A and B are shown apart, each in its own frame.
Chain A
Amino acid sequence: MLSKRIIACLDVDAGRVVKGVQFLNLRDAGDPAELARAHAEAGADEIVLLDITATSAGRKTLIDTVRRTSQQIFVPFTVGGGIRTLDDAAEVFDAGADKVSINSAAVASPGLIEEIAGRFGSQAVIVAIDAKRANAEAGKAEVYVAGGRERTGKKALAWAREAEDRGAGEILLTSMDRDGTGSGFDCELTAAVSDAVSIPVIASGGAGAAQHFVEVFTAGRADAALAASIFHFGLPGSAAHAIGELKQTLVGAGIPMRWPC
């Protein structure tokens, strides 16, 4: 049976893994290559590296970090942040990424999705959507870009559909309302996007407990769930590596998981 995926995300700034709350207050969490390997060995099904300051500071993705990290892991590896052109994407693939995640650049020039998918295949293109709805219904969630600083006026559901039509292989949906809060994924929004597209949806933003993953895989109809801080800093009250413990809990809840790894 096709398993649900647990994806460990490394938010990288200037070559170090950091994590903030609602895109602010960054906190150091270690070396990307070492953390990626530790997460993969503990059972992460995929690793995502996001160069979080690349877009706003106008820098390109840290190619050396990508190269170093990719040498240490033998699970799928995605890189995002600062990828604006086909050449930027090619450079990241050349450094060892299996997929790229594009966000602001895809909104600014949606043809970039077709360009990258045309050359590297749809399986290599993840369109990341940062969405915010406050207390509005899921259908009203809006797309934000530039690390959550700019409002686009686009609706998340329509943009997800367009991304699929243009050749995206997966959607990485981040709830800005929940990101970094640990209060749980936005299951309602995730389910709405999952129903709107036929490609896999990765839920992100808000993971704080194992139960949140159970919810997003059932009520949220997510194909994968991504988290950062709880994997770096551990589940509350736990000494074990969070991913192994999380997967055991999910298996116990009847969620199909690759476990033991």
Chain B
Amino acid sequence: MIAIVDYGAGNISSVKKALESLGGIAEVTADPDVIAAAARVVVPGVGHFSRCTSLNQQLRRPVLEAITAGKPFLGICVGMQWLFQGSTESPETPGAGLFAGECSRFPDRVKSPHVGWNQVELRGGSRLLRGVENRSFFYYTHSYRAPVVEQTAALTEYGGEFSAAVERDNVYGVQFHPEKSGPAGLRILENFCAL
């Protein structure tokens, strides 16, 4: 069972639908016991980083325990940003700190939010992105972005380069929405289900 962590962020039902279309069994939950019992954990999200406050309150421990136990973990959009140390969007809300650095707003010279389909530049060796062609397009909708770090698995260029995907052990994060990115996005979710 895949636990989709419900912490009040939007767009959760589409993640569930996409996973189920691939034959996965997914449950949207805010119950620490369900998260503990899950084989895989997804933290989806769209919206404001301050929403992570509720993630930090009741759900931080079970989610981090799942990660420590080595269960495949996927953070999507804000769920990926949460893996970093924090975001200037809501400085009082800490992230999980699994990746170094802070998320920040796009510079004023580009339209924000960054909405639409953009390409990824693969760095190679990613398990999550296996079979994805370099320069494939994925769907984005966000105003803040994560820095490029050592564990960045794919980059996207928009007002400078940012992390499109990060990967460390069994912890994965994607800034784009695989559940809304057509066949390329479904491929990634399929890879996640097979990890």
Contacts and interface: CB of A to CB of B under 8 A. Distances in A.
Interface of A: 1-5, 40, 45, 70-71, 74-76, 93-94, 96, 98, 120-124, 169-170, 198-200, 223-224, 258, 261
B111 A200 contact: yes
B86 interface: no
B185 A3 contact: no
A200 B11 contact: no
Contacts of A261: 182-183
Interface residues of B, number: 34
Contacts of B90: none
B168 interface: no
A258 B117 contact: yes
Q: Chain A interface secondary structure, helix, strand, loop or mixed?
A: loop
B91 interface: no
B127 interface: no
Nearest to B186: A74
B113 A199 contact: yes
A178 to B, nearest CB: 23
Nearest to B10: A120
Contacts of B141: 76, 123, 169
Interface string B174-195: 0001011111011000000000
A5 B117 contact: yes
Which 7 pairs show the lowest CB-CB distances between chains A and B? A121-B47, A258-B137, A123-B141, A258-B117, A3-B117, A2-B118, A200-B115
Contacts of B181: 74-75
